[in-house]
Amino acid sequence: MSLYIPVLFLVLVLVFVPSINSAPPPNLTKDYYQKTCPDFSKIVRETVTPKQGQQPTTAAGTLRLFFHDCFMEGCDASVLIATNSFNKAERDDDLNESLPGDAFDIVTRIKTALELSCPGVVSCADILAQATRDLVTMVGGPFYEVKLGRKDGFESKAHKVKGNLPLANQSVPDMLSIFKKNGFTLKELVALSGGHTIGFSHCKEFSNRIFPKVDPELNPKFAGVLKDLCKNFETNKTMAAFLDPVTPGKFDNMYFKNLKRGLGLLASDHILFKDSSTRPFVELYANNQTAFFEDFARAMEKLGTVGVKGEKDGEVRRRCDHFNNLNV
């Protein structure tokens, strides 16, 4: 009998003792910077307001940037890192090449202002999280709580992007597998997809729905407009269309109403109404904006906690596009 005790003990140790190399997730709090950078919220708000006024697509771009950051191994500002001679970073993978410059710019502007007020204190990951919430609210979206205390990650690898971000032509099961990896349900997938109520997509992302033949499930008039808009998309790669053609600059539930009318731009948008598993949520949000806003807000709060880094596995970068150790 005694021969089995060491083996059993070893099994128990392996199961119940956490690895010394895995740092526990940080305890995020609303007032994380209350003493160390009391003007944090004010500086973020005063920086995003004029930028959104000058460039109305900033809100959508920043929301997308935040999503891409959090779904790539956590909300750690790894998507902000620039490629150098040692490393090809996330933002230079094909799936991230269309991330808008205005989103990167607003983070840089906020970081610059904060470094003057409280140098070396606020992480780029927290800046991106707070700026996203403020911008979403500015364009009519719901207010939600942003807890703070994230640290900036030490890694950003382009080759890790594929398989971690949903694609424009994916099925619901394929998208759900990616969302599930990050702890999200089917309903939360649909709620977060509602972020497409603002912003645009480049023609190459939906060209297969209009060339060479038009997808019969696409609204015919909408398809005609898109065909004309994107006729030269192979030579002019900047051509893009609004994801919500009805109220493109307003955060509302029009995106879901559009899906019912054949006005979903991406195949992955349209499939949410076509698939029987997600259609009830589309119907709910199309008929009830309050329900959409409440579920979107909760999902965004949850998104902001995905894979966050603490003191042991992160840093506060001096510049958001570079690791403090430039050789990393």
pLDDT class of 7 with cuts at 50, 70, 90: very low
Q: What is the mean pLDDT of residues 79-89?
A: 96
pLDDT class of 293 with cuts at 50, 70, 90: very high
Flag whether 108 is marked binding.
no
Flag whether 235 is marked binding.
no
Flag whether 78 is marked binding.
yes
Evaluate if residue 236 carries a pLDDT over 70: yes
- Mean pLDDT across the chain: 93
Flag whether 74 is marked binding.
yes
- Is residue 315 classed as helix, strand or coil in its secondary structure? strand
Q: What is the mean pLDDT of residues 107-131?
A: 98
Options 68, 202, 270, 322, the catalytic residue: 68
CA–CA separation, 144 vs 149, rounded Å? 17
CA–CA separation, 88 vs 159, rounded Å? 8
Enclosing H/E stretch for 296 = helix 289-303
Evaluate if residue 272 carries a pLDDT over 50: yes
CA–CA separation, 73 vs 71, rounded Å? 6
Using a 10 angstrom Cβ sphere, with 0-12 exposed, 13-18 middle and 19 or more buried, the burial of residue 258 is buried
Cis peptide before 24 (omega within 30 of 0): no
pLDDT at residue 186, rounded to an integer: 98
Quick count: other Cβ atoms within 10 Å of Cβ 208?
A: 13
pLDDT at residue 21, rounded to an integer: 41
End-to-end alpha carbon distance in the chain: 52
Flag whether 152 is marked binding.
no
Q: What is the mean pLDDT of residues 9-23?
A: 41
Among 147, 191, 149, smallest CA distance to 284 is for 191
Which tens digits make up the pLDDT trace of 147-163?
999 999 999 999 999 99
pLDDT at residue 327, rounded to an integer: 55
Flag whether 90 is marked binding.
yes
Which tens digits make up the pLDDT trace of 184-209?
999 999 999 999 999 999 999 999 99
Q: What is the mean pLDDT of residues 173-179?
A: 98
pLDDT at residue 19, rounded to an integer: 38
Cis peptide before 212 (omega within 30 of 0): yes
Angle at 292 between CA 65 and CA 257, to 5 degrees: 95
pLDDT class of 24 with cuts at 50, 70, 90: low
CA–CA separation, 302 vs 183, rounded Å? 9
Residue 68 designated active-site:
yes
In sequence order, what DSSP letters do the residues of 23-69 get, joined into one string?
Answer: PPPP--BTTTTTTT-TTHHHHHHHHHHHHHHH-TTHHHHHHHHHHHH
pLDDT class of 326 with cuts at 50, 70, 90: low
CA–CA separation, 176 vs 269, rounded Å? 13
CA–CA separation, 198 vs 248, rounded Å? 5
Using a 10 angstrom Cβ sphere, with 0-12 exposed, 13-18 middle and 19 or more buried, the burial of residue 148 is buried
In angstroms, how far is CA 87 from the centroid of its own chain? Answer: 23
Tokens of 22: 């895995």
Q: What percent of the chain has pLDDT over 70?
A: 91
Flag whether 197 is marked binding.
yes
